[in-house]
Amino acid sequence: MEFARRTRADLSRLLMEHQFGVDEVLTKVTILREEFLHLRRYNPIEHVTSRVKSPESLVRKMVRRNVAPSVDAIREHITDIAGVRITCSFIDDTYRVLEALVSQDDVRVIQVKDYIANPKPNGYKSIHAIVEVPVFLSTGAVPVVVEIQIRTIAMDFWASLEHKIHYKFDGDVPDHLAESLSDAAMIAEQLDHRMENLHREVHGEHRADEPDVPADFDEDMIVRMWQMMRESGAN
């Protein structure tokens, strides 16, 4: 019983520290948004969400990965207890925000996986950065690992749909739906490039090396889709 109580108390403190880690990252993101908006008159960040795993979710992951019920083992083997997701307007913005965050002196980069440049086989795109930030408690500074995901509106819209479909079918997605998801990922990519090209044209930054967009890819439809996804994310 004593071991169980101590373990529960340790997990509770661990989750508290990770919530503080999320708060630290969110503060950094808020400052960046204000700086971009007021000094550069442009905000590359559309919206931000965050979460810390529940005790039940954390325990399930520990069991799946055969992680010992100790704080040290959890810290070493589970890096997504705390998560922050940043949704940007355009592809270039994702890299701009990533650079602004990881270049800060108190942010230690553990790992970066660029699924935008190298998408997953199913079409998933995002930047995943595992970083460590200091959380200052009454007992001193505690290093906390936070997973940061950065993606565009189109990528976020696709990932949300893919997650819901996989959840509904418990991971065993029918072939025709998997194929449709793959097609949708291609459309989302075309949408990203087209919207970024339109943005550059408006601001006099048109690039001749933009990827070709199919002739039947209607521009008005693209704008409507983009606006719909912005509204969906805001809600």
Same domain, 100 and 54: yes
- Give the residue numbers marked as catalytic: 147
Instruction: From 115, 130, 155, give the residue that closes a domain.
Output: 155
Instruction: From 155, 187, 210, give the residue that closes a domain.
Output: 155
pTM: 0.79
Same domain, 127 and 12: yes
Question: How many whole angstroms separate alpha carbon 229 and alpha carbon 235?
Answer: 10
Q: What is the DSSP string of 63-95?
A: HHTT--SSHHHHHHH---SEEEEEEESSHHHHH
Same domain, 161 and 211: yes
Residue in the block written with tokens 């083997």: 77
Inter-axis angle of helices 175-202 and 219-234, nearest 10: 100
Same domain, 125 and 13: yes
Same domain, 161 and 150: no
Same domain, 24 and 122: yes
Question: pLDDT 10s per residue in the chain (235 long)?
Answer: 666 677 778 889 999 999 999 999 999 999 999 998 888 778 899 999 999 999 999 989 999 999 988 889 999 999 999 999 999 989 999 999 999 999 999 999 999 999 999 999 888 999 999 999 999 999 999 999 999 999 999 999 888 888 888 778 777 778 888 888 888 888 888 888 888 888 777 776 644 444 444 445 455 555 555 565 656 555 5
Same domain, 131 and 209: no
Measured between alpha carbons, how far is residue 16 from residues 20, 51, 149 in Å?
A: 6, 12, 21
Structural domain containing residue 75: 2-155
Let me know: does 71 contact 14? Beta carbons within 8 Å. yes
Same domain, 145 and 30: yes
Which CATH number does the domain housing residue 48 bear?
3.30.460.10
Provide CB contacts within 8 A for 195, sequence distance 6+: 89, 90, 154, 222, 223, 226
